[in-house]
Amino acid sequence: MAEFLEMGGYGAFIWPAYGAVTLVLLGLWIASRRFVATTEAELTNLNPRHTGDKDEA
Amino acid sequence: MFHRFANPTRFLKLAAIVQPWAAGATLLFLAGGLYYGLIDSPADYQQSETVRIMYVHVPAAWMAMFCYTALAISAGVGLIWKHPLADLAAKATAPIGAAFTFLALLTGSLWGKPMWGTWWVWDARLTSVLILFFMYLGYMALQNAFDDPARGTKASSILALVGFVNVPIIKFSVDWWNTLHQPASVVKMGGPAIHPSMLTPLLLMALAFKAYYIWVLLMRIRGEVNAGKIRALRLRQVHGTAPKMAEEVANG
């Protein structure tokens, strides 16, 4: 396991690269989910007939 | 066919069907890509273990250019045919493209230090990708710089189209100029110059990133459609309540 984490002495470069990808993609996903949730809530507030997926057409 | 999806309600119905598949594909390809990339692939004979950075760096760089192309096409369609969903797709693509461009730059830097001996060089490939990152930021800033969202969309769409000139420059920068960056080894004449054991995780991660793009794009378009409805409802409320208020005032 320690050998795996060490990555032939290059762990200090490889793990931050994978860590940054995880953080950025997860962060953007969370922000996008929140964007949808807050706008859905606001729509329901403004217009109680709004039901998300089954939109008033 | 094109205009069928200009109707946001119809589009949202389709998006609700596609979204879980995109989510599943992202997680599946990611699991496979990480397994082959970090565990079941050999170290490079020259770059040893650092070659594993390639499995996130190269797909992120592909996505950086792919997202900008999608952004420019959507902006163009929105500008020319006034297609409302195209504008929303462009707006929703920008932060995803910016994220991938940032990651391409950052992971490239983390790969450059051990292999080139430097975090950064001002050569054609690196500089043109940095400019791409600024194009994304400029697009997003310009979009929100106007009180009238329609004007912001128009101005930023023109910027997106003009900025597209940078995409072929990035692609061919490694052939046109002397650079530390290596030339293309996957998409090239005579087939990929990369062993299948390394091509597998590379392509799996590329598919994971593409599926992630679709997943988050559909989410963000839904958010943008909602935001548009909120603006319209607010406007209607302002105009709708104004006479009522006047009536109340009139009745004391």
Residue range B109-130, pLDDT digits in tens:
999 999 989 999 998 999 999 9
pLDDT in tens, B200-229: 999 999 999 999 999 999 999 999 999 999
A15 reaches B (C-beta below 8 A): no
Distance to chain B for A38, nearest Cα, Å: 9
**In a 10 Å sphere around its CB, with 0-12 CB exposed, 13-18 middle and 19+ buried, how is residue B84 labelled?**
middle
Q: What is the percent of chain B with per-residue pLDDT over 90, rounded to a whole number?
A: 66
- As a whole number of angstroms, the distance between CA B137 and CA B141 comes to 6
What is the sign of the dihedral through the CA atoms of B39, B45, B48 and B51? negative
Give B174 or B128, the one with higher predicted confidence. Answer: B128
Nearest 5°: CA angle at B195, between B189 and B197?
A: 140
> Which pLDDT tens digit goes with each residue over B9-22?
888 899 999 999 99
Q: How far out from the chain centre does Cα B16 lie?
A: 20
Structure-block tokens of residue A2 = 């320690």
DSSP A9-56: GTHHHHHHHHHHHHHHHHHHHHHHHHHHHHHHHHHHHH-TT--TTS--
Q: Where are the domains of chain B?
A: 21-179+192-225
Instruction: For domain B21-179+192-225, give the CATH number.
Output: 1.20.120
Chain B residues within 8 A of A36 when measuring between CB atoms = 219-220, 222-223, 226
Question: Residue B55: which of B207, B214, B203 has the closest Cα?
Answer: B203
Question: What's the confidence (pLDDT) of residue B80?
Answer: 94
Among the residue ranges A5-9, B68-72, B121-125, B185-189, the one predicted with the least confidence is B185-189
Q: What is the pTM of this model?
A: 0.90
Report the C-alpha gap between B42 and B59 in whole angstroms.
19
Q: What pLDDT, on the 0 to 100 scale, is given for residue A57?
A: 39
Cβ contacts of A28 on chain B, cutoff 8 Å: 95-96, 99, 216
Dihedrals φ, ψ of B44, to 5°?
A: -75, 150
ipTM of predicted complex:
0.87
Phi-psi region of A47 (alpha: psi -120 to 50; beta: other; left: phi over 0): beta
The CA distance from A33 to A28, in Å, is: 9
Three-state secondary-structure class, residue A57: coil
Going by C-alpha positions, the residue among B89, B67, B96, B54 that lies closest to residue B170 is: B67
What's the Cα-to-Cα distance from B95 to each of A3, A19, B102, B202, B231, rounded to whole Å? 37, 19, 10, 23, 21
Is B149 buried (19+), middle (13-18) or exposed (0-12) by CB count in 10 A? middle
Separation CA A52–CA B22 (nearest Å): 20
Which residue in B has a C-alpha nearest to residue A27's C-alpha? B99
Number of A–B residue contacts, CB under 8 Å: 89
Q: Is A16 within 8 Å of chain B by CB?
A: yes
